[in-house]
Homo-oligomer: A and B are copies of this chain.
Amino acid sequence: MKNRKPLILVTNDDGITAPGITALVEVMKTLGDVVVVAPDKAQSGMGHAITINSTLRIHKVKIYGVKSEYSCTGTPVDCVKFAVNKIVDRKPDLCVSGINHGTNMSINVIYSGTMSAAVEGAIENIPSVGFSLSDYTIDADFTASKKIVKMIAQKVLKNGLPKGVCLNVNIPKLKSELIKGIKVCRQAKANWVEQFDERHDPGGHPYYWLTGKFENFYKGQNDTDVWALENNYVSVVPTQFDMTAHKAIKEIQKWKL
């Protein structure tokens, strides 16, 4: 069994036909046997949502000519759960999500369907990586991204990842030769300043679009993902699902609850 090809699970949150997942599948086909289970529509901003109050549908598709490929009516996290439990016959050696059209740096890791799929992979004890490119458009150029994706995926297949940890990789919108390198860094302390765009329907009743502006409140720090992207580096943030604020435990214990 030693020489069998790696089994690679691919998903995303932009939907199974997005150019970003097409690029990701193309790279993964050069590295192993590929299984695709991805949402049948855009699922951006779904965070770690799972579908428990309604049912899921899964459809076999023929888009990429890989080992097996399915579209799913659920969230990115549903896709990973379904793939692991119903599609594959052994635990995948790698789970990759993306390539997202748009970055998932800083606090966006928590809203991102792309990253939540990678986090779910880590929960399932699979080495997992979420990839995002700093270009929201349908015409995004994934040429440079594909080189970086391949190199990082090879490293993860070779080295594995620490237990409970996945990677959040963000790639600047630049040609390969202009990318300065790769920085392993931490999630920046930045925020969304939300705005709700109020409109009125033909009956005069208000409805809202959630929108906003991303603000980096800590510009000076060169060990963050926001800094890396702004300075033409690829950012790699090791990301965990243990949300315990370990340092705060002693402080709260002093309250004598």
Interface residues of A (CB under 8 A from B): 42, 44-53, 55-58, 74-75, 77-78, 81-82, 84-86, 107, 109-111, 116, 119, 123, 151-152, 155, 159, 161-162, 164-165, 167, 181-182, 184-187, 189, 191, 194-196, 199, 205-210, 234, 236-249, 251-253, 255, 257
Of the candidates B53, B85, B152, B165, the one whose C-beta lies within 8 Å of that of A245 is B165
Bound together, the chains give a CA A221 to CA B165 distance in angstroms of 21
Min CB–CB distance A143 → chain B (angstroms): 19
> A121 to nearest B CB, angstroms?
13
Q: Which chain B positions have C-beta within 8 A of A55?
A: 199, 207-209
**For the complex, what is the distance from the CA of A107 to the CA of B251, rounded to whole Å?**
23
Can you list 9 A-B pairs, Cβ within 8 angstroms, ordered by A?
A49-B75, A55-B209, A81-B194, A85-B196, A107-B241, A162-B245, A184-B249, A187-B243, A189-B242
Q: Which residues of B contact A111 (CB under 8 A)?
A: 48-50, 77
CB distance from A40 to the nearest CB of B (A): 13
* B77 A184 Cβ-Cβ under 8 A: no
Q: A205 — which chain B residues lie within 8 A by C-beta?
A: 57
Nearest CB to that of A86 among chain B residues?
A: B196
- On whether the beta carbons of B51 and A45 are closer than 8 Å, the reply is yes
* In the complex with contacts A85-B196, A110-B243, A257-B182, A48-B48 CB distance below 8 A: yes
What is the CA–CA distance of A244 and B223 in the complex, to the nearest angstrom?
12
Copies of this chain, complex-wide, total 2
Q: Find chain B residues with CB under 8 A from A255 CB.
A: 155, 159, 184
Chain B residues near A119 (CB, 8 Å)? 110, 243
Check if B257 sits within 8 Å of A151, measured CB to CB: yes
Question: How far in angstroms is the closest Cβ of chain B from A255?
Answer: 5
Closest to A193 in B: B85
Knowing A47-B50, A85-B196, A110-B48 are in contact, say whether A257-B236 is a contact too (CB < 8 A).
yes
* Cβ contact within 8 Å between A208 and B56: yes
Minimum CB distance partner of A243 in chain B = B239
Those 8 A-B pairs whose CB atoms lie nearest each other, nearest first: A47-B48, A238-B248, A240-B245, A238-B245, A182-B257, A49-B49, A45-B52, A186-B244
In the docked arrangement, what's the CA distance between A47 and B209, Å? 20
